[in-house]
Amino acid sequence: MRLGFIIRPPHQFLSLLLCPGLRIPPLSVLCAQPRPRTMAVSSSSWELPLVAVCQVTSTPDKQQNFKTCAELVREAARLGACLAFLPEAFDFIARDPAETLRLSEPLDGNLLGEYTQLARECGLWLSLGGFHERGQDWEQTQKIYNCHVLLNSKGSVVATYRKTHLCDVEIPGQEPMRESNSTLPGPSLESPVSTPAGKVGLAICYDMRFPELSLALAQAGAEILTYPSAFGSITGPAHWEVLLRARAIETQCYVVAAAQYGCHHEKRASYGHSMVVDPWGTVVARCSEGPGLCLARIDLNYLRQLRQHLPVFQHRRPDLYGNLGHPLS
């Protein structure tokens, strides 16, 4: 297992660095970019809530996938995390739409039951980033939902968000995606949820390309935005980090993005590079190659100071923008 750690900088440098990440192996320090000195961190980094971001390579084997995820969640709990994030399709990645539908389960099925037990056992919250859910309309539609499930430390489901933007794209050099072949779009956004790390806004993968969604979550009170993902090998190097950093900067939120990595089967591979971005747009933790996890501390005092010094939400002009959701003419 590969782990990323947050190391504590000397107190006198807290105004310059936010919890640099250390990835093992190789031994390397990921340094944050300088913050304005007027927004120095006042509290000890060890007092801040710790979150874990898990990176996996899902296959069609659901039990093996659970074993891998459970190992990472237990390690996150051992290291002191209060909340662990798993990527989109943490349950499985199938070879085709028919297999996707066959392997899917309802929220009260056996697999989610194993995760509720895992949350209770480890005593931490779980962000299950994209569960293939047979909804209440399964019998009528024979289609599923891509459902982001949030469990508390008692194993209770406290929020569900069903992906609203489905990925139907054809990128040259990358396997075509037709998510709508097996999946229905969700009907609504989910209000941000209070967790031990802060107020979490739920999204999934392709949603990150729609800034309207992230702004709506931020305006509803989100302090942490989550984009569990399975980005492709072509769009990943081009768009992954820049989109996540843009969403963090424009909303002044932390962004947590747990990602799938590597070859899932002969038809599909994912980019990986799970990461955490702070509200200044700095990548403060990241995974590199292979299954593993990285850790980051969430500093809400810093977030509030940044919003006070750079009050962009007070400067918005909704009277000028109108409805930005219409297709291009």
Among 44-48, 63-67, 103-107, 324-328, the range scoring the smallest mean pLDDT is 324-328
Interacting residues of 92 by C-beta distance below 8 A, sequence separation 6+: 58, 59, 60, 61, 62, 65, 103, 132
| pTM (two decimals) | 0.87
Residue type, 325: G
Helix axes 211-219, 235-251, angle to 10 degrees: 30
Of the pLDDT bands very low, low, confident and very high (cuts 50, 70, 90), residue 3 is low
Of the pLDDT bands very low, low, confident and very high (cuts 50, 70, 90), residue 26 is very low
- Alpha helices by DSSP H, listed for the chain, are 62-78, 97-103, 110-122, 138-141, 211-219, 235-251, 300-309, 318-321
* Mean pLDDT, range 286-295, rounded to an integer: 93
Q: What is the pLDDT of residues 181-238, one digit of tens each?
A: 999 999 999 999 999 999 999 999 999 999 999 999 999 999 999 999 999 889 999 9
Confidence (pLDDT) at 17: 32
Structure tokens that stand for 302 in this block: 């810093």
Q: What is the pLDDT of residues 53-81, one digit of tens each?
A: 999 999 999 999 999 999 999 999 999 99
Q: Please say whether the beta carbons of 202 and 161 come within 8 A.
A: yes
Answer whether residue 41 shows pLDDT above 50.
Answer: no
Q: Please say whether the beta carbons of 233 and 174 come within 8 A.
A: yes
Answer whether residue 252 shows pLDDT above 50.
Answer: yes
User: How many angstroms separate the CA atoms of 251 and 243, rounded?
Assistant: 12
For residue 220, the 8-state DSSP code is T
Among 45-54, 180-189, 263-272, the range scoring the smallest mean pLDDT is 263-272
Answer whether residue 2 shows pLDDT above 80.
Answer: no
CA 78 to chain centre: 21
What's the mean per-residue pLDDT of the chain?
Answer: 87
Burial class (CB in 10 A: 0-12, 13-18, 19+), 327: exposed
- 96 vs 17, higher pLDDT: 96
Catalytic residues: 88, 163, 205
Q: Please say whether the beta carbons of 247 and 255 come within 8 A.
A: yes
Of the pLDDT bands very low, low, confident and very high (cuts 50, 70, 90), residue 267 is confident
First vs last C-alpha separation in the chain? 49
Structure tokens that stand for 255 in this block: 């962004």
Q: What percent of the chain has pLDDT over 90?
A: 75
User: How many angstroms separate the CA atoms of 166 and 177, rounded?
Assistant: 9
